[in-house]
Chains A and B, each alone.
Chain A
Amino acid sequence: MKLTGAEIILECLLREGVEVMYGYPGGAILPTYDAMTKYPQIRHVLVRHEQGAAHMADGYARATGKVGVAIATSGPGATNLVTGIATAMMDSSPIVCITGQVPTAAIGTDAFQETDVTGVTLPVTKHNYLVYDVEDLAYTIREAFHIARTGRPGPVLIDIPKDVQNAVTEFVYPEEEPVLPGYRPPQEATEEQVRAALELIERAERPVILAGHGVIMSGASREVLEYAEKTQTPIALTLLGKGGVPETHPLSLGMMGMHGTGHANLAIQHADLLLAFGMRFDDRVTGNLKTYAPHAKKIHIDIDPSEIHKNVRADVPIVGDLRAVLRQLNPHVKPQEHREWWAQIRDWMEDADERDIVHWDAGERLFAAHVIRDMWQATGGNAVIVTDVGQHQMWEAQYYPHERPHTLITSGGLGTMGFGLPAAIGASMGLKSSNVWAIVGDGGFQMTMTELGTAAQERVPVKICIINNGYLGMVRQWQEFFYEERYNATPMHNPDFVKLADAYGIPARRVTRRQDVIPTIEWAAGIDDGPVLIDFVVEKHDIVYPMVPAGADLHNMIRRPIEGK
């Protein structure tokens, strides 16, 4: 079958199971856009800015576990993708980006809309390609999807010059799995490693599991729970680990780290054994490395060898797929109880509970924490939540317990403001669900709110909840704590978000009182034929507690004062 390069691209996408791609046309990618008319099986979603396309592909990938696809033209189209690609890279999200490039003969001449896109994206992709020959195209696309989804997943970019899209060749799809000489994702632990881990486990009196994104990526929820229940080991979660194990489980301590629960952080600091399951000891999780978990031995299981010993020295490093490794380990683990350890942890939990704003009577005030807790209640804890970045993101992490994997989608590593709305659109489309809620701040929302147009045009039934405090709240919080309340460049003059939504034909309401929160959420939940927006106008000067200042010791948290004491 003779096909053009453009047709080969779409044939290959079909064979990879791609059902939707997010993109924006332009000169260098036009042959592929023209070929799309022959492939109606693949839905193309026209975004309003290419950054949105990359985030939508990312949201789609995180919600479904499948590879998300974004497509853009050369030059500015491609460079607009970069923030989204870097976001996917930091959070190990499998996406494939296809970019048009100027014709091969023009490469290197500063041609119109020419950018060295493989050069620009080199440090923020797992791998990338510039395809010079249409003969290489099918194999390259096959390889790109393979690399994106296997091992530690990540973004892969394929840059395809216009003449390669136009060139005609015999299409032969490489059916067999690509063989890459230098690419061997590791799988299992050695017997020696299992034995060494068991030795530490048997001696431990104060163990803590650190459950990260890897629990979700490797599908190891059941294995982690099995281990934890057998050994009565408390589980602290990273932000991206939320949903990996049910957070309402009695062994769960909630989130760890900078805005983690007091009891999770104290447990880590007092632990004599840390079991790091698919996490990478990010600085937001450890605080000061010199004083981090000083009494603890560390068992570190991760699929990426370069994460081992990177930030924290592991006593037993195991490189492998978490689920496979736990399946090796679990049968040999002996039951444990750790009663004294749990008594201590329960003391810390009581103190945290007493300080918790969730028990406060807010009076006339509307606190973001209350909005999110009510949302949890009104959605039965079953929604898929996509957040933006900032205070609302941390409140979500604290007040919306997740029970299942892939139900919290958030930009953890890169902390990309503007991620929320487009990622939620991708997640909602991927899941074909109207139970996807974007919780966004007023700052981050305005970075990508152009995608309201996409949501309206495609009738994506996504629920948009703006936690609106009229500030870049997290920055304002740092200014309050560390810059003597000089609130420079953080107050925001916002548009009327309800009117804005109205301009797009999107139903919207504003909430300013606690008693209206649940009814309004229920109203929004009933709309399933398109997007809906709620503007929650919350306390301006609220703070995310607890907080471990950047670089401080993990146990030195700023705690919420107990009101009236």
Chain B
Amino acid sequence: MQTKQTLVALVENKPGVLNRVASLFRRRNFNIDSLTVGRTESPERSRMTIVVDAGADQVAKHLYKLVNVIQVENVSTVPNVSRDLALIKVHVDADTRGQVIQLCDIFRAHIVDTSSRAMIVEVTGDEEKINSMVEMLRPLGILEMVRTGVVAMARGDDVLAPSDYEARRPASNGHRASVL
């Protein structure tokens, strides 16, 4: 089995950037395990976390060729925190409701919705933790599940940040919200 690598990419928060990244992966035949996008501390930038099966170096080099990609870091090479979040709708009845509550206790998960025949469990952690929670719940009957994909950050006080480019750029044209 190949080891997965987690890349973090800071990108400009502009329309079409996600499309550029996705198109790059398809046309260069890169296999992506997961990709998440979200806001950052700066409205000018978005942050992608990309989990790849192999070839992280080549993926990073090609990401850099996209003009809108500011910085790429392979956080797998440094101590890091990585988190996935899952919402799991699990079937319950009078007999199994207690089991679910117990499991949530063990996994430090939360029950965020409950009805007579189902509960929604919210669980956060690294991928393996969520995988094992899913395995524990599966025998009870998982009705529906969604996972966010991994987000990651290097530990310590080093930050993934570009130079002071904002200061040198012309005033941004905020007339149009980014459509990632």
For residue A40, CB closer than 8 A to chain B, the reply is no
For residue A365, CB closer than 8 A to chain B, the reply is no
For residue B110, CB closer than 8 A to chain A, the reply is no
For residue A334, CB closer than 8 A to chain B, the reply is no
For residue A182, CB closer than 8 A to chain B, the reply is yes
B67 touches A182 (CB 8 A): yes
Q: Which A residues, 154 to 200, have Cβ-Cβ distances below 8 Å to chain B?
A: 174, 179-183
A305 touches B61 (CB 8 A): yes
B165 touches A306 (CB 8 A): no
A136–B66 Cα gap in the complex (Å)? Answer: 20
Q: Which of A126, A133, A182 contacts B68 (CB 8 A)?
A: A182
Interface size of B as a range: 20 to 34
Q: Which A residues, 302 to 354, have Cβ-Cβ distances below 8 Å to chain B?
A: 304-306, 308-310
Chain B interface: which of A115-123, A278-286, A384-392, A396-404?
Answer: A115-123
A122 touches B61 (CB 8 A): no
For residue A147, CB closer than 8 A to chain B, the reply is yes
Task: Provide the residues of chain B in CB contact with A309, threshold 8 Å.
Answer: 57-58
Closest-CB distance, A305 to chain B (whole angstroms): 5
Closest-CB distance, A520 to chain B (whole angstroms): 46
For residue B117, CB closer than 8 A to chain A, the reply is no
B64 touches A180 (CB 8 A): no
Q: Mark B156-180, 1 if CB is under 8 A from A, else 0.
A: 0000001101001110010110000
Chain A interface: which of B15-23, B74-82, B142-150?
Answer: B15-23
B176 touches A132 (CB 8 A): yes
For residue A139, CB closer than 8 A to chain B, the reply is yes
For residue B62, CB closer than 8 A to chain A, the reply is yes
B19 touches A306 (CB 8 A): no
For residue B48, CB closer than 8 A to chain A, the reply is no
Q: Which A residues, 105 to 129, have Cβ-Cβ distances below 8 Å to chain B?
A: 118-119, 122-123, 126-127
- If A123-B27, A306-B61 touch, whether A181 touches B165 (CB-CB below 8 Å) is yes
For residue B69, CB closer than 8 A to chain A, the reply is yes
A306 touches B65 (CB 8 A): yes
A183 touches B175 (CB 8 A): no
Q: Which of B19, B68, B175 contacts A119 (CB 8 A)?
A: B19
Task: Provide the residues of chain B in CB contact with A126, threshold 8 Å.
Answer: 67
Closest-CB distance, B25 to chain A (whole angstroms): 11
Closest-CB distance, B8 to chain A (whole angstroms): 14
For residue A135, CB closer than 8 A to chain B, the reply is yes
B16 touches A181 (CB 8 A): no
Task: Provide the residues of chain B in CB contact with A133, threshold 8 Å.
Answer: 173, 175-176
Task: Provide the residues of chain B in CB contact with A179, threshold 8 Å.
Answer: 165, 168-169
A123–B21 Cα gap in the complex (Å)? Answer: 11
Task: Provide the residues of chain B in CB contact with A122, threshold 8 Å.
Answer: 19-20, 23
- If A122-B19, A133-B175, A310-B58 touch, whether A182 touches B170 (CB-CB below 8 Å) is no
- If A122-B23, A132-B176, A136-B173 touch, whether A182 touches B69 (CB-CB below 8 Å) is yes
Closest-CB distance, A184 to chain B (whole angstroms): 9
Task: Provide the residues of chain B in CB contact with A180, threshold 8 Å.
Answer: 67
Q: Mark B47-68, 1 if CB is under 8 A from A, else 0.
A: 0000000000110011011111
A182 touches B23 (CB 8 A): no
A305–B64 Cα gap in the complex (Å)? Answer: 9
A305–B23 Cα gap in the complex (Å)? Answer: 19
Task: Provide the residues of chain A in CB contact with B12, threshold 8 Å.
Answer: 181-182
Closest-CB distance, A314 to chain B (whole angstroms): 13
Chain A residue nearest to B65 in the complex (CB): A306
Chain A residue nearest to B163 in the complex (CB): A181
B62 touches A306 (CB 8 A): yes
Task: Provide the residues of chain B in CB contact with A306, threshold 8 Å.
Answer: 58, 61-62, 64-65
For residue B11, CB closer than 8 A to chain A, the reply is yes
Closest-CB distance, A544 to chain B (whole angstroms): 31
Q: Mark B6-38, 1 if CB is under 8 A from A, else 0.
A: 000001100110011001000100000000000
Q: Which of A132, A135, A174, A304 contacts B65 (CB 8 A)?
A: A304
Task: Provide the residues of chain B in CB contact with A123, threshold 8 Å.
Answer: 23, 27
In addition to A179-B165, A182-B70, 9 A-B residue pairs with Cβ atoms within 8 Å of each other are A127-B67, A130-B15, A147-B67, A180-B67, A181-B12, A182-B68, A305-B61, A309-B57, A309-B58
| Chain A contact residues, CB within 8 Å of chain B | 118-119, 122-123, 126-127, 130, 132-133, 135-136, 139, 147, 174, 179-183, 304-306, 308-310
Closest 10 CB pairs of A and B: A181-B165, A306-B61, A182-B70, A127-B67, A181-B70, A305-B61, A179-B168, A182-B69, A306-B62, A123-B27
A-B contact pairs, 13 of them (CB 8 A): A123-B23, A127-B67, A132-B176, A133-B175, A136-B173, A174-B170, A179-B165, A180-B67, A181-B163, A182-B11, A182-B64, A182-B69, A306-B62
